[in-house]
Amino acid sequence: MKHALPNLESFKAFESAARNLSFVKAANELCISKGAISYQINKLESELGTALFRRAVRQVFLTEAGQKLSQTTTKLFNDLEYSLEKINHEASDSVSIAVTTYVASRWLSPLITDFCEQHADISLQFQHTVNSSAFDIHGVDIAIRWGKCDGRIDDTRLLEIPMSMYPVLSPALLSQLPANESLDRFQEITLLSEERTPDLWRVWADKHFDIEKNNRRLIPDANVRVQAAIDGQGMILADDLMQSEIRNRVLTVVSEQQLTGFGYVVMSTAGARKKPAVKKLLEWIISGT
């Protein structure tokens, strides 16, 4: 079916001029002359048989017809841009991965080193806003997030990697505490933590340890939090990704009471998994855990 629509260039000129309320700004945005913008808009107004702009000195305003058309063209161009980006994204050999620097450096990067060597044609792009409140799984191909591990696997949650957590602190700080096995000896220690729901320190302590008496220091970045513990600034809940520090005795496990039921979740949408590159990487990650 042939569509009786004006030239696309006229719509592009109109959309830019309407959004900027300026022919000059539209000309700069589209890298054409102001005269070319005026020509395209005059042509469009002639074809539609109505004025779209009310011209004033050094400024233009949308007429009622122009406002209606502007709403439509803005939506159409946004939808078109989104569709083109999606098509390009699905066709490309790049994979975007949302993961914290802590997990990337301690677990993911070593895991996919061989993958990168065997699939040199696939480009991996890391972004580290995975813990942001505004994070959207639909904005990336793969995400690795901390959360509850309760066996729930669905169209988005592909793999759970449970991680027990336990309190650790530096040997120097530990040497300053009373030499007994009671948890009460930790009540003068600052708890290094981050803002999470639920409060992991509270879940760990449960009924065995009154953390209300402890000072708290919030450190959102996990790598910085680990270093603060090494420097003797407080006690931290470690997971199995911190085995290197424990083996090298820069941090000491101080309680056998562990926090379970949490860990890392590998996530990806059904749409992202249609990309061959994403499918290959996911299979590699899953087979390597």
Judgement on whether residues 85 and 32 belong to the same structural domain of the protein: yes
Give residue 255's region: left, alpha or beta (phi > 0; psi -120 to 50). beta
Tens of pLDDT along 101-117?
Answer: 999 999 998 888 889 88
Judgement on whether residues 145 and 272 belong to the same structural domain of the protein: yes
In a domain, 206, yes or no: yes
Nearest to 253 by CA among 263, 262, 243, 261: 243
Apex CA 35: angle with CA 32 and CA 40, to 5°? 80
Is it the case that residue 184 has pLDDT exceeding 90?
A: no
Is it the case that residue 196 has pLDDT exceeding 80?
A: no
Is it the case that residue 92 has pLDDT exceeding 80?
A: no
Tell me, what's the pLDDT at 1?
A: 47
Count of alpha carbons within 13 angstroms of residue 276, beta-carbon side: 6
Average confidence (pLDDT) over 159-170 = 94
Nearest to 255 by CA among 192, 193, 188, 164: 164
145 forms beta bridges with: 265
Apex CA 164: angle with CA 125 and CA 179, to 5°? 125
Tens of pLDDT along 11-62?
Answer: 899 999 998 888 999 998 888 999 999 999 999 999 999 999 998 877 888 9
Name the average pLDDT for the chain: 88
Asked which of 127-136, 165-174, 232-241 is least confident by mean pLDDT, the reply is: 127-136
Give residue 179's region: left, alpha or beta (phi > 0; psi -120 to 50). beta
Max Cα separation, the chain?
Answer: 90
Last residue of a domain, one of 90, 124, 152: 90
Tell me, what's the pLDDT at 89?
A: 57
In a domain, 130, yes or no: yes
Which band of pLDDT confidence, cut at 50, 70 and 90, is reported for residue 3? low
Q: Are 123 and 226 in contact (CB under 8 A)?
A: no
Average confidence (pLDDT) over 207-222 = 86
In a domain, 3, yes or no: no
d(C-alpha 162, C-alpha 67), whole Å: 54
In a domain, 129, yes or no: yes
- Domain of 200 in residue numbering reads as 166-259
